[in-house]
Structure 1
Amino acid sequence: MMMKNWLRKHPEVRTIRVAAADLNGQPRGKRVPTRFADKVVEDGTRFPLSVLNLDIWGEDIDDSPLVFDSGDADGVLKPTERGFMPMPWLEAPTALLPIWMFREDGRPYDGDPRHALRSVVERFKALGLTPVVAMEMEFFLIDDSGRNLQVPVSPRSGKRRKAAETLSIRALDAFDTFFTDLYDACEEMDIPADTAISEAGLGQFEINLMHCDDALRAADDAWLFKMLVKGMARKHGFAASFMAKPYEDYAGSGLHTHFSLIDKDGKNVFDDGGPKGTDMLRHAVAGCMRAMHDSTLIFAPHWNSYDRMVPGAHAPTGICWAYENRTSAIRIPSGSHKARRLEHRVAGGDVNPYLLLAAILGAALTGIEDQLEPPAPITGNAYALDLPRIPDTWGVAIDAFDNSDIMKRIFSPEMIRNFVLTKRQELFYMDELTPDERVVIYLDTV
């Protein structure tokens, strides 16, 4: 009823979009006239199961059993708890209705990334634990109108400043109109956007999404935020991209994830009253470290992802953890012991937020279940240490994910199969392209 009431309170909305996230985080769905919205809310909509398993070009996976072998059968897509929200980057008043996929008999479809995260969250719930999640969203503003990518002209100064400006107020003010509209849109869409800063890359910025005790909602926020930023940038005459590394000579974009766990009484189970954290914190760290090599494909899902993961470029390359050390893959931030948490720093901005949280939280859960102990935390520069390495090529990451026993404890067999088939197909076709052609593909998609 609340969903129907939203539309009735917004009579200016004439069309809606219904959209689900595919394995690459691409919105897939339909445009529906508002007068048929009640039917979508009550009965859902339908499209093939294979639609959530398309490659980055939007093409079927050649050897997928979801396509011809099964007659390309339909799934049933139902609204998520999020309900309707405006799409402020479009000219015409339009509402978005996020949906997720179920099988004909009502079972969740295991190939839907949102269900992958739901499954992990339910396992925490069975232990009386709730993840509290916050995400840092890095992206680039880009003028892609010419042959070469460059920072857009500032609407305020009319100038194009070709330099990285870390934590520069001037860089933020140069695009004040864009950021003002972006924050207004976040308010309209109920996306908890907090602090904005300029980052180390050319035209690169970061906006933090506030912590949330609903991991599904946190992933929704990140997915919707990416959609919003890209759409709003185009409305302002330039592009925004979350691709991992658009410029060879500048740092790439990460998506750092912070999380803690609270028990039924609302107590942070990582908090021991001091700076070190509890046994459960260490078990979670150990689980994340054990799974890191095999889950790299989730954190770095595209060809361009691996251009970011090189030593000295603000992206982790070794599997390690540390207290208050940004060269490590897992960082335990300082500050109030009440907010003791784990920061996972491996993922690029180009990830699917649902699979990202499923991989991180699922790995931590296995460490807690097994009461795993991590090695000693590192000190100093992680790049200078002899550490187990995170895969630095796409092919190695695909094989590691495909052959992993630990991934089978986190993801369903169908999800593993679908993701691997997708990435092998993309690797095959990306190998035929030039670097510039790859950038064109990734710029607007990821």
Structure 2
Amino acid sequence: MSDWINTLPDPAQAYLEGRRLDEVECIVADLPGIARGKAVPASKFARQQHFHLPDSIFYQTITGDWGEEGFIERDMILRPDMTTATAAPWTGDWTLQVIHDAFDRDGSPIPFAPRNVLRRVVEMYHERGMKPVVAPEMEFFLVARNLDPAKEIEPMMGRSGRPAAARQAYSMTAVDEFGPVIDDIYDFAEAQGFEIDGITQEGGAGQLEINLRHGSPVKLADEVFFFKRLIREAALKHDCFATFMAKPIEDEPGSSMHVHHSILDARTGENLFSDKDGSETEMFYHFIGGLQKHLPDAIAVLAPYVNSYRRYVKDHAAPINLAWARDNRTTGIRVPLAPPEARRVENRLAGMDCNPYLGIAASLACGLLGIMNQETPDGEFKGDAYAGEADIPRVLGTALDMFDNATDLHDLLGPDFARVYSIVKRAEYEEFLQVISPWEREHLLLNV
């Protein structure tokens, strides 16, 4: 046991120093990004090289129902990636979490496991001598405990007792409203070895943003996956909920997962978006062109639920089109101010409700298609992009139709993934269409 512990990442070893490990949570992300798996005693984990779960976990909808297509529940082989071993500091005993990779009995990666989908796209960059780098931004709301789905979601009350006090973008006073929760987020992140680049107050009441340092797409997706759980647990300690819904509160802005992209030369480490004289390269423009052309087909992955489309509202902090511009937050594609060596492209379309592995994979895939096909972007946008018309689908059904027809995107993400994803999302959409909303009862019951 001690020899195995000594091979863990440094933060995990530091967490366990002088303590006895009780349990290991063996986890894998399903299509929504929920952690599935098994908790096993540490002594058993030390003896096992893998464990089994049925592949049906990837056919399950967010409501716990199943995609309509018949399938055989085959056992997958789940193997631990020990580089992901990290603390679960909110538990009552000394527990580690370890992300596992999913394989079939022949040792081939399960094609619809989200981490495998992202790995597939990243490998396509590597095959071309490129190394993609990403930096996600995570927005979320701290809200009052909500035990009745019929009741509207309300912001968490901070120290002042006034929800409007927490609606001041970038205000340090607003951040202080939620000091105890934020303190636990920092403490949990430190125990897990995660580096937070900063926490800011966003425009919504109780809405916060956490920025992560740039790095490998798979590593950063792992961190977002871990962070969602970490933040939820920190909130529960203080009698509130953390929600990553795209649009949880009617009159507040939605929550996004902006993803910053750059591409390095795998051999030299130089930024391929910048020439030696500091100017922008053709690859930089091709990447933007790929986002503009292919993101509409990928919206069903970046905005995976009916609620996701409530975020795309004019003048409400979310983009509605695919214009690109330098340092302009009204466009869907933004080029932040940065020196040539840090030149990057920000995709502002993804919602925080998307699976981080799939959202990052889809965004990278669109950019890669642009590079492969040498797509030319539209000219740089000037002015307020909210004044234009929407370039993206506004409802999930339309987004799924576009995704189903995007065979070039399927080639990168994997045809089997595209098939299973569509099955599950259409099943969810059908479930939603059976629900009669309060709006329908209020305005249609006696008026039509």
TM-score normalised per structure 1: 0.91
C-alpha distance in 2 between matches for 1:26 and 1:119: 21
C-alpha distance in 1 between matches for 2:329 and 2:129: 31
2:50 to 19, 44, 48: 44
Could you report, residue by residue, the CA deviation over 1:245-294 in whole angstroms, capped at 9, with x for unpaired residues?
A: 01111100010000101111110011136776211100111111111110
Tell whether 2:270 aligns with 1:267.
Answer: yes
Counterpart position of 1:250: 252
Counterpart position of 2:237: 235
2:66 to 49, 57, 60: 60
Counterpart position of 1:99: 100
Kindly state the Cα deviation for residue 125 of structure 1 after the two structures are TM-superposed.
0.8
SS at match of 2:32: coil
Alpha carbons of structure 1 residues 436 and 239: separation in structure 2 relative to 1, 3 Å? farther
Kindly state the Cα deviation for residue 145 of structure 1 after the two structures are TM-superposed.
4.0
1:34 to 36, 42, 58: 42
Alignment of 1:178-197 (within 5 A): 178-197=181-200
Alpha carbons of structure 1 residues 369 and 89: separation in structure 2 relative to 1, 3 Å? same
Is this contact kept in 2: 1:151–1:162, CA < 8 A?
no
Alpha carbons of structure 1 residues 333 and 128: separation in structure 2 relative to 1, 3 Å? same
Tell me how many residue pairs correspond in the alignment: 426
C-alpha distance in 1 between matches for 2:425 and 2:309: 14
2:325 to 318, 322, 326: 322
SS at match of 1:135: strand
Tell whether 2:231 aligns with 1:225.
Answer: no
Counterpart position of 2:26: 18
Alignment of 1:33-432 (within 5 A): 33-40=41-48, 43-65=49-71, 70=72, 72-145=73-146, 147-154=151-158, 156-157=159-160, 159-163=161-165, 164-212=167-215, 214-263=216-265, 264-272=267-275, 277-386=280-389, 389-432=391-434
Is 252-261 or 174-183 further displaced after alignment? 174-183
Is this contact kept in 2: 1:3–1:83, CA < 8 A?
no
SS at match of 1:170: helix
**What RMSD over aligned residues (CA atoms) do the two structures have, in Å?**
2.0
SS at match of 1:294: helix
SS at match of 2:258: strand
Is this contact kept in 2: 1:291–1:406, CA < 8 A?
no
SS at match of 2:306: coil
C-alpha distance in 2 between matches for 1:238 and 1:274: 51
C-alpha distance in 2 between matches for 1:306 and 1:386: 15
Counterpart position of 1:442: none
Gaps of 5+ in 1: 438-446
Kindly state the Cα deviation for residue 385 of structure 1 after the two structures are TM-superposed.
2.4
Kindly state the Cα deviation for residue 217 of structure 1 after the two structures are TM-superposed.
0.2
Could you report, residue by residue, the CA deviation over 1:353-376 in whole angstroms, capped at 9, with x for unpaired residues?
A: 101111111111111111221111
One-letter code aligned to 2:103: F
SS at match of 1:410: helix
Gaps of 5+ in 2: 440-448
TM-score normalised per structure 2: 0.91
Kindly state the Cα deviation for residue 133 of structure 1 after the two structures are TM-superposed.
0.9
Q: Once the two structures are aligned, what percentage of the paired residues are identical?
A: 35
Could you report, residue by residue, the CA deviation over 1:29-76 in whole angstroms, capped at 9, with x for unpaired residues?
A: 111112211133xx21101111123110233323243xxxx3x11000
Kindly state the Cα deviation for residue 201 of structure 1 after the two structures are TM-superposed.
0.9
One-letter code aligned to 1:46: H
Is this contact kept in 1: 2:145–2:239, CA < 8 A?
no
